[in-house]
Structure 1
Amino acid sequence: MIPRPGSGRAAETRLVSVWLPALAIERWARIAGPQADDRIALTIEVQHGQRIHAVTAAAAAAGARPGMRLTDARALDPGLAAVAADLAGDAELLRRLARWASRWSPAVEVDSADSLLLDASGAAHLFGDEQRLLGDIVARFGGLGLTARAAISPTPRAAWALARFGGAAAIVAPREGLAAMLAPLPVAALGLAADVTRVIERLGLKTIGALAGIERRSLARRFREADNPLDALDRALGRKADPLTPIVDQPAPRALLRLAEPVADPAAAPQSLALMMPELVRQLEQRRLGARRLVLAGYRVDGEVAVAVAACALPSREPKHLLRILGDKAAELDPGFGFDGFVLEAEWCEPLGSAQDGLGGEPPPAVAVARLVDRLVSKLGPGKVRRPAARESHLPERAVGWEETGGIGTKPLHHPPSPAASADGPPPRPAAREERARPQRLLDRPEAIEVIYATPAGLPRRFRWRRVVHDVVRAEGPERIAPEWWRERSSARLRDYYRVEDGAGRRYWIYREGLHDDGRGGAPAWYLHGLFG
């Protein structure tokens, strides 16, 4: 808990409230892309239907406002489109922003669904002064594409109120004169429940200053202790403590080994690794994580640190596998004048639940392949092992490529496909194409063939490839693949693929490029692209 007013350090306490008034709609706009300029409202389900949570600028210009019922907003603008708000996604973004905001303060709290609270006591001089600190906060959030308003005050409630109702993007409130700064603000600036605020306003108390002039006992009889507006006012003015609970990031799983005296034997590092691995695996199991990158650091008596790093293609907490990929690198660490301590850390982790092994106790095929890749990379080095990877393309020769795997920044061996392209990019590959048979061997480049005879329907009956004539006894097709207009020239021609079998039982994957009447060149050309079996 961080001390606040009323705990003996009230004169030194400076709290910053950062309000992100458009967090939900700005996050949605970044995901939606061009749709962000349309009349769209983000909605949440309430007891009597849908209520608007956030709106785009175009929707606001048409009369939609946060807090309105969707039916009322559509009475003003029948063309208003509704999208379900992602409250969980917004909350996760705010938590990430809270960790990022530690650049200004080591103590950051997620104060509400759209604001952060920072303890900047004694830190403003690092940025020049308090005004420059707030200016830096607003500018850096703006660089992330987020609108921000900030205020600094001796109390969190006052900072919260000034950030929302103060009328400026950055406000500095001194301790002396704080009551005068809060007096003209509306009662809603105290952050009370909406029904309590309505009752106070019906009593004719529209501002904080008017509320402060009321005799305390008369208000205490009207409100429960938790809803007492004077209690909120006391917290805003620093008369009562208001503790801050900062977010705490869990440190990476790690194991530590201190040696009684320096050891210069090169075998000390792999032996220490074996001693620390059970503790690291225990922490990974406890947090249901798998290691993707391991770091072994050996601390030498001369102050130098020797480091060995190993990466996994898939998250793993299998002790034997982790020892195997890091053990050889640990043996290469130079002890110099001797090691006096070691740290083993799972620097990069990912969630890893329980998995069912095979009936014979063998790991799933994907895990077995990943372990093989890890061992190869450990022996050959990062960047020396490649694997085939799918690419977003309709054309077979472009739909697969090679990428490095097992390096320090490697992707998972089996990562999810990229999301479908946006409206102004290439369309997603048709699902039906994925179910069609593909040849086991695809030629690096399609080779031209001469079709000697074809039926009027287009099925090839005889073709010559590499000076050998093949009579087609069976043919299936066509499977049509249109040109990729976003990559190709306008003269690119479509392809009709056929699976054919000759008299000897050999099967081929051939295609005709173009049609006779497509207006994109002369006669169609034929190519052989792959072999089956």
Structure 2
Amino acid sequence: MTGKDSQNGARIVSACFPDLAMDRWRRITTQQRTLPGDDVPVVLSVQGTHGPVVHALSAEAHRRGVSLGARVVDVQAIHPDLHVEPGEPAREIKLLDQVALWARRWCPWTVRDGEDGILLDVTGAAHLFGGEAAMLRDMAARFQMQGLTARLAVAPTRGAAHMLARFGPAGCICGPNDLEVALAPLPVAALGLEHKTEQLLQRLGLKTLGAVMQVPRVALMRRFDRVAAELNPLVLLDRALGREGAPLDAPPEPPRWLARARLAEPVIDPVPHLEGLARDLSAQLAKAEQGARRLRLTIYRVDGEWRSRDVALAQPSREPAHLLRLMEGKLEGIDPGFGFDLLTLEALVAEPLALHQDHLDGARDAGRDVAALLDRLTARLGPDKVTWPVWMESHVPERVEVRRAALRGEAADVPVLTRERPLRLLEPPEEVAVLYAVPEGPPAQFRWRRVAFRVRRHEGPERIAPEWWRDKAGTRLRDYYKVEVIDGRRFWLFREGILGDGRGGDPRWFVHGIFG
């Protein structure tokens, strides 16, 4: 019953998440590290035409007057204590899609609404939650439990609900006979027009939707007859007022691969039932030519409590023996209480895995063996214990390579290095005492780890400036030198800062790497 007509007694709920980006960042940061203090302004940045710009901001940053779209470098000049984190708009959209599916606890028709909200067709469902007002309170409370700040509104059309959630009073409930009255005080920005169209309406003195409604329709049609329907203020207003249909086409739920084991009586040890779960799930995946990349084993106790364990895979797999081996030891430490009566094994993430034939000569696939080894090591030791290097785009040497969990790190292109780099980098760089040959020139002799080294020849300098979009104000530049000492060993030294740069005292020298 997707694509329901929103004109025939429909009731549409719009949930807008104005702080979606910051809410998502807080959820992730709280799990990984301590959040900055409330007195520290925090902004999320995305790449703009002339460098990073503000994508989202915290309450403290808003209080200080930081605006969306401002250049990060300009804001840092005014607020040196600004805390900048990278924004991820694509992941925010993915989160909205997930929230839209989760919101089907209230009704079967939900869909993402733009980049900051979702729509729910709750026609005939509000009474199940005690009425529309009680349902909105329930929604607000549950969204808050998920760490999301929501603005909610109910209206007979999706356009009206969208506008009221963003520009109307909080928790607005609009009846079918109150559309014009409810929409009249809203600004024309509620229509979501192009900037030039909105400016034209402003110059005409039409600052609210009520003012637009009072203008003769023929006069406005002449002005906007060549504007596309999705950006035409008359078409958008007609849809909001229910004069033109705007059905809510909710996408189907994604397929789920879930194996269940319902037990006739509670048991204390669920291990004997895991093999059947693995075979059942593998059969489902094989039928769809899919392979599991992430598994979740959930055990439900008779007292209503449940426990779950997740397992990640390096490559898609549907081999029951391999899936079963990854579950070994996952149930240790779980309190069985009075026993379990339901177990589920679900493929949270699946990828296409076509049927394939092994080599005729009996040779093994080395790639599959390595992936299976990574799976077993990660399952046994933990996801943060098995890591590999991932390349990052950065000019600062210690930021080029980072360690990521082997089953979570995303592949990246290897950066093209135009200059030779040492195979071994010291982390962190170690300070050395240097005797200069000439002012601001290469070192003639330096002492490192209580040993004096005399420089025979050198190459450099290679200047690396601070990354202003990431480093704090006052960070000093570096001049790198490749030096060869008397005994033939080669070191990578850098001087931090230059005399008279206004960013500290005398320059300091560090050894950062060793060649060969």
Q: TM-score normalised to the size of structure 2?
A: 0.56
Distance 1:323 1:43 in 2: 40
- Deviation of residue 67 (structure 1)? 3.5
- Deviation of residue 49 (structure 1)? 3.9
Match of 2:16 among 15, 19, 40: 19
Residues 126-525 of structure 1: matches in 2 within 5 Å?
126-168=128-170, 170-223=171-224, 224-226=227-229, 227-253=231-257, 280-285=285-290, 289=292, 292=295, 314=313, 317=317, 321=321, 347-351=346-350, 360-362=363-365, 364-366=368-370, 387=380
Aligned length: 341
The equivalent of 2:35 in structure 1 is 34
The equivalent of 1:521 in structure 2 is none
- Deviation of residue 188 (structure 1)? 1.0
The equivalent of 1:113 in structure 2 is 115
Q: For residues 20 and 362 of structure 1, do their structure 2 counterparts lie closer, same or farther at Cα, with a shift above 3 Å needed?
A: closer
Query: SS of the counterpart of 2:245?
Result: coil
Distance 1:83 1:152 in 2: 35
Q: Given residue 191 of structure 2, which amino acid in structure 1 is its aligned partner?
A: L
**Is 2:33 the partner of 1:3?**
no
Q: For residues 195 and 49 of structure 1, do their structure 2 counterparts lie closer, same or farther at Cα, with a shift above 3 Å needed?
A: farther
Deviating more after overlay: 64-73 vs 227-236 = 64-73
Does the CA contact (< 8 Å) of 1:63 and 1:73 recur in 2? no
The equivalent of 1:503 in structure 2 is none
Q: Deviations along 1:310-358, whole A, 9 cap, x unmatched?
A: x988466456858999xxxxxxxxxxxxxxxxxxx97325345779999
Does the CA contact (< 8 Å) of 1:284 and 1:290 recur in 2? no
Distance 2:234 2:165 in 1: 20
Q: For residues 294 and 283 of structure 1, do their structure 2 counterparts lie closer, same or farther at Cα, with a shift above 3 Å needed?
A: farther
Query: SS of the counterpart of 1:361?
Result: coil
- Deviation of residue 135 (structure 1)? 1.1
- Deviation of residue 2 (structure 1)? 2.3
Q: Given residue 363 of structure 2, which amino acid in structure 1 is its aligned partner?
A: G
Does the CA contact (< 8 Å) of 2:184 and 2:208 recur in 1? yes
Distance 2:66 2:184 in 1: 31
Q: For residues 21 and 294 of structure 1, do their structure 2 counterparts lie closer, same or farther at Cα, with a shift above 3 Å needed?
A: closer
Q: For residues 244 and 369 of structure 1, do their structure 2 counterparts lie closer, same or farther at Cα, with a shift above 3 Å needed?
A: same
Query: SS of the counterpart of 2:289?
Result: helix
Does the CA contact (< 8 Å) of 2:157 and 2:242 recur in 1? yes
- Deviation of residue 243 (structure 1)? 1.8
Does the CA contact (< 8 Å) of 2:157 and 2:241 recur in 1? yes
Q: For residues 222 and 47 of structure 1, do their structure 2 counterparts lie closer, same or farther at Cα, with a shift above 3 Å needed?
A: farther
The equivalent of 1:478 in structure 2 is none
The equivalent of 1:102 in structure 2 is 104
Distance 2:28 2:42 in 1: 14
Q: For residues 79 and 313 of structure 1, do their structure 2 counterparts lie closer, same or farther at Cα, with a shift above 3 Å needed?
A: closer
Does the CA contact (< 8 Å) of 2:14 and 2:152 recur in 1? yes
Q: Given residue 109 of structure 1, which amino acid in structure 2 is its aligned partner?
A: V
Q: Given residue 213 of structure 2, which amino acid in structure 1 is its aligned partner?
A: A
Distance 2:152 2:222 in 1: 35
- Deviation of residue 194 (structure 1)? 2.8
Distance 1:34 1:324 in 2: 38
Taking only aligned residues, the RMSD between alpha carbons, in angstroms, comes to 4.6
Which sections of structure 2, spanning at least 5 residues, go unmatched? 260-274, 299-309, 326-343, 386-404, 410-424, 428-516
Q: Deviations along 1:135-182, whole A, 9 cap, x unmatched?
A: 1111111122221110000001111111111132x1100011210111
Does the CA contact (< 8 Å) of 2:292 and 2:318 recur in 1? no
**Is 2:60 the partner of 1:58?**
yes
- Deviation of residue 21 (structure 1)? 0.7
Query: SS of the counterpart of 2:175?
Result: coil
Does the CA contact (< 8 Å) of 2:292 and 2:350 recur in 1? yes
Query: SS of the counterpart of 1:141?
Result: helix
Distance 1:62 1:56 in 2: 10
Q: Deviations along 1:447-495, whole A, 9 cap, x unmatched?
A: xxxxxxxxxxxxxxxxxxxxxxxxxxxxxxxxxxxxxxxxxxxxxxxxx
Q: For residues 115 and 350 of structure 1, do their structure 2 counterparts lie closer, same or farther at Cα, with a shift above 3 Å needed?
A: closer
Does the CA contact (< 8 Å) of 2:101 and 2:110 recur in 1? yes
- Deviation of residue 42 (structure 1)? 1.7
- Deviation of residue 83 (structure 1)? 2.9
The equivalent of 1:258 in structure 2 is none
Distance 1:312 1:60 in 2: 41
Does the CA contact (< 8 Å) of 1:5 and 1:239 recur in 2? no
Q: Which has the larger radius of gyration?
A: 1
- Deviation of residue 242 (structure 1)? 0.8
The equivalent of 2:91 in structure 1 is 89
Q: For residues 432 and 136 of structure 1, do their structure 2 counterparts lie closer, same or farther at Cα, with a shift above 3 Å needed?
A: same
Which sections of structure 1, spanning at least 5 residues, go unmatched? 256-269, 296-310, 326-344, 374-385, 393-412, 418-430, 434-533
Does the CA contact (< 8 Å) of 1:254 and 1:280 recur in 2? no
Q: Given residue 348 of structure 1, which amino acid in structure 2 is its aligned partner?
A: A
Q: Deviations along 1:165-205, whole A, 9 cap, x unmatched?
A: 1132x110001121011111111112222332122111110
Q: For residues 63 and 359 of structure 1, do their structure 2 counterparts lie closer, same or farther at Cα, with a shift above 3 Å needed?
A: farther
Q: Given residue 5 of structure 2, which amino acid in structure 1 is its aligned partner?
A: R
Aligned-pair identity (%): 35
Distance 2:163 2:176 in 1: 15
Does the CA contact (< 8 Å) of 1:50 and 1:70 recur in 2? yes
Distance 1:113 1:199 in 2: 25
Distance 2:362 2:213 in 1: 74
Does the CA contact (< 8 Å) of 2:289 and 2:352 recur in 1? no
